[in-house]
Amino acid sequence: MNKIHRLCLVLGDQLSFDLASLQDLDAERDTVLLVEVMEEASHVPHHPQKIALIFSAMRHFAKALQQRGVRVQYVTLDDPQNTGSVPGELQRWDALLRPDELHLTECGDWRLEQSINDCGLALQWHADTRFLCSRAEFSAWAEGKKQLRMEFFYREMRRRGGLLLNGDGSPVGGAWNFDADNRKALPKGVKAPYPARFSADSITQEVIALVRERFASHYGSLDTFDYPVTHADAQELWEYFLNFGLAGFGDYQDAMASDEPFLFHARISAALNIGLLDVRQLCSDVESAYWSGSIALNAAEGFIRQLIGWREYVRGVYWLKMPDYADGNAFGNSRPLPEFYWTGKTQMNCMRQAIGQSLEHAYAHHIQRLMVTGNFALLAGIAPSQICEWYLAIYMDAFDWVELPNTLGMVMHADGGYLGSKPYCASGQYIKRMSDYCRGCAYKVTESTTDNACPFNALYWHFLMRHSDLLRRNQRMGMIYKNLDRMPESKQQALWQRGQILLAKLDAAESL
């Protein structure tokens, strides 16, 4: 074997041929290293489907690299020589191969990047150019701003990418944001497209068997795994959404329906986050669909905003504010996460639906996460670190850079309003308006203080009462507190008492 010049480490969420650290490889002198390690698979109890996705996609990517003539060293989880951690494997292979240089691309997890930096090797880091806004560029944009707002960042990203703009640089349709048009409940008779499914090849079957054996204690089903693990299949999933889902995405992206886990959503976030899809191509495809007249502007703008607005924004906040950001707890919450988050065993149908599909598919769309499971955690005063761990563990697309700001900042408002300008809290009336969940529930959404009243109702007002000193100063909360103040004292007391009873049940580890 020739003397190795470059050893390039590729992590499980970096499976892109365009990765910066893989450019200009010398097939004769360079080697790519991929490692499956227990530390990354178990530092939180990741959903078995998430582990299966990453390991299978890694193995397929390694095979594709080899077919391109690239020399690859691949370490499986059950390799007897496996040290169990990324830094350990980097040190082991550095000692074995003695390369001239070690190359790698920025991590998506502050914890992992720190541990690699601390492993005592001379490393050459590359920026993760899969993202449109670098860490340095976001830091420059944020400098001097007391509060950041995604909307203004998003407009800058639209201008930079030239997306959905008129010739004079103004936004198509006369507005930057059509979110107000994207909040329709699913009407009766409207059917979502049948979800695209991908069968497991021999590599994936082998991985599933490994995961089933090694991670049997992790919550979540492996039986329904049907997700793409190659670039070609991820592209097929994307094209299926373009043809059958995107037109309905704009109107119904916030809608929820019983036993409909996917509706008009693309389900591509996991593939995008691990490198099987490219964000620039996705934006181009969506814009082309709009210009061709096949989708409405609210669908195109709404989808592009998710990609170049929110997704890039939360990554920027993550790297700007870590590691202190992870300790945010503006409300001083300390209540443990209820057991039913891991089992789905609750009488609240909305929670049972959202948690049940999360366990079955490692997936829930953004409103289920924000306004059902997240809303409950916020109202119930769950410790931010515990709900953040749950989101990171349970969802196939969850990596620390995207999960932590979304959960700690947007869901829990635990950063004191740095990420979002107000808490996303709501009573059961929001869930009733956006779904049919309430029709199949043991609780009554029309009641607030009785024993069978929807828990969201009393917990919503209880949350507002107990955090009044902090939230009354928020301009966007003014109308809500005026409504509270107009309530008769007796009604406020009844809501408080009902909230106390519900919280006491959670403290006694009872399911609701």
Query: pLDDT digit string (tens) for 285-336?
Result: 999 999 999 999 999 999 999 999 999 999 999 999 999 999 999 999 999 9
Q: Are residues 403 and 492 in the same domain?
A: yes
Site of tokens 């170049």: 308
Domain that holds residue 451: 340-507
The C-alpha angle with vertex 371 and arms to 368 and 376, in degrees rounded to 5, equals: 105
Pair 365, 489 in one domain = yes
Write the CATH number for 121. 3.40.50.620
Among 363, 365, 362, smallest CA distance to 248 is for: 365
Q: What is the mean pLDDT of residues 396-406?
A: 97
Indicate whether 268 and 401 sit together in one domain: no
Give 180's pLDDT tier (boundaries 50, 70, 90): confident
Name the pLDDT band for 205 (thresholds 50, 70, 90). Answer: very high
Element containing residue 9 per DSSP (H, E): strand 6-9
**Is residue 483 located within the same domain as residue 347?**
yes
- DSSP-based helix, strand, coil % in the chain, nearest 5: 50, 5, 40
Query: Would the pLDDT of 181 be above 80?
Result: no
Q: Are residues 448 and 302 in the same domain?
A: no
Domain boundary among 126, 159, 184: 126
Query: Residue range 272-292: average pLDDT?
Result: 97
Give a yes or no: residue 215 inside a domain. no
pLDDT at 250: 86
- pLDDT score for 70: 96
**Per-residue pLDDT at 1:** 53
pLDDT digits (tens, 9 = 90+) for 468-493: 999 998 888 999 999 999 999 999 99
Q: What is the residue-averaged pLDDT of the chain? A: 95
* Span 107-136, average pLDDT: 97
Percent of the chain with pLDDT over 90: 90
Distance CA 147, CA 153 (A): 12
